[in-house]
Amino acid sequence: MIDSPLISIIVPCYNQAQYLNECLNSVLVQTYKKWECLIINDGSPDNTEEIALQWTEKDSRFKYIKKDNGGLSSARNAGINEALGEWILPLDADDKISNDYLSLARKEFENNYTIIYCKALLFGAIDKEWNLEDYSLEKLAIQNMIFCSAFFKKEEWGRVGGYDENLRQGYEDWEFWISILKDGAEVYKIPQICFFYRKKEKSMLTELGGNEEKRVETLKYIYRKHIDFIIDYMAPHVMEMYSNAEELKKVYKSKRYKIGDFIVRFINKFKI
């Protein structure tokens, strides 16, 4: 008899009520049936609560949590803390998944993978396949290539202390994956498109003209938090690409906490 572990799907929602039905319907139609879906209202002023409660009445596998606004990491942590499943799948309220995502991931649960994800499609303002770099630990030191809707065990979330709630300007997924994977772990990518990431005109404008100062400060925070990992895996890229070897030597002789500033300058210079 094949074991059917419970999968907990975590859906934080803040001012995304207009997309919530589409998101939750993609959960409802899963071919794998042993799941629960926790909808976390992160202090949203729109009608998130009304819609969420309709879904809890429709199917008892949907559960509703209401909390004060604390940001995306806080909302995910609140949901995962209440989750009963062995495996966790975050899903943002404006995104959706294919009806076979859970069943395809389930087939890999016994293969000792720490993270399981899939190919993805952008939809909305842009409609095309999301061509992300293939995962490697070396590349993860420079950029994220695993979106939020990837499977991981709840015990891994607990081991690393959950999502870092100090990150309110983005990059929380990247920092979380670094925390889980930096000591070495297996990652598997399902070779089918199972995740659909919504691109909005507003979010595109934000990406083009976002707050650069906050972005840099966020990167510094992550680099300093994971400084040993960043140095070990980014150093070869710096050595290969940086034009001034003497400056690089000076940096490595300085205090390690200063390297975060150097790496930010390096990334800005080469537009990584």
What residue has token string 């690393």? 160
Instruction: Using the predicted structure, report yes or no on whether residue 96 has a pLDDT greater than 70.
Output: yes
Instruction: Convert the pLDDT of each residue in 5-29 to its tens digit.
Output: 999 999 999 999 999 999 999 999 9
Would you state the pLDDT for residue 25?
99
128, two tokens = 């095309």
What residue has token string 């629960």? 36
| Domains in the chain with CATH codes | 7-201 (3.90.550.10)
* Average pLDDT of the chain, as a whole number: 87
Q: Give the pLDDT band (50/70/90) at residue 203.
A: low
Would you state the pLDDT for residue 267?
54
More confident residue, 15 or 204: 15
Would you state the pLDDT for residue 262?
57
Phi-psi bin for 269: left (phi > 0), alpha (psi -120 to 50), beta? alpha
List the 187-199 sheet strands across, edge first. 96-97, 187-199, 115-124, 128-130
* 3 state DSSP class of 114: coil
Would you state the pLDDT for residue 268?
56
Share of the chain above pLDDT 70, in %: 82
Instruction: Using the predicted structure, report yes or no on whether residue 256 has a pLDDT greater than 50.
Output: no
Q: Give the pLDDT band (50/70/90) at residue 55.
A: very high
Share of the chain above pLDDT 90, in %: 70
Query: Which one, of 106, 184, 114, 183, lies nearest residue 155 by Cα?
Result: 114
Mean pLDDT of 43-67: 98
108: Cα within 13 Å, side-chain hemisphere: 21
Q: Give the pLDDT band (50/70/90) at residue 238.
A: low
Mean pLDDT of 64-88: 98
Q: Where are the alpha helices (H) located in the chain, listed in sequence order? A: 17-28, 48-58, 72-82, 101-106, 137-140, 154-159, 172-181, 201-209, 212-225, 227-241, 245-253, 259-270
Instruction: Using the predicted structure, report yes or no on whether residue 159 has a pLDDT greater than 50.
Output: yes
Instruction: Convert the pLDDT of each residue in 257-272 to its tens digit.
Output: 455 555 656 555 544 4
Q: What is the CA radius of gyration of the chain?
A: 20
Question: How far apart are alpha carbons 199 and 218 in whole angstroms?
Answer: 22
CA distances (Å), 81 to each of 88, 109, 134, 161, 233, in order?
11, 21, 30, 11, 32
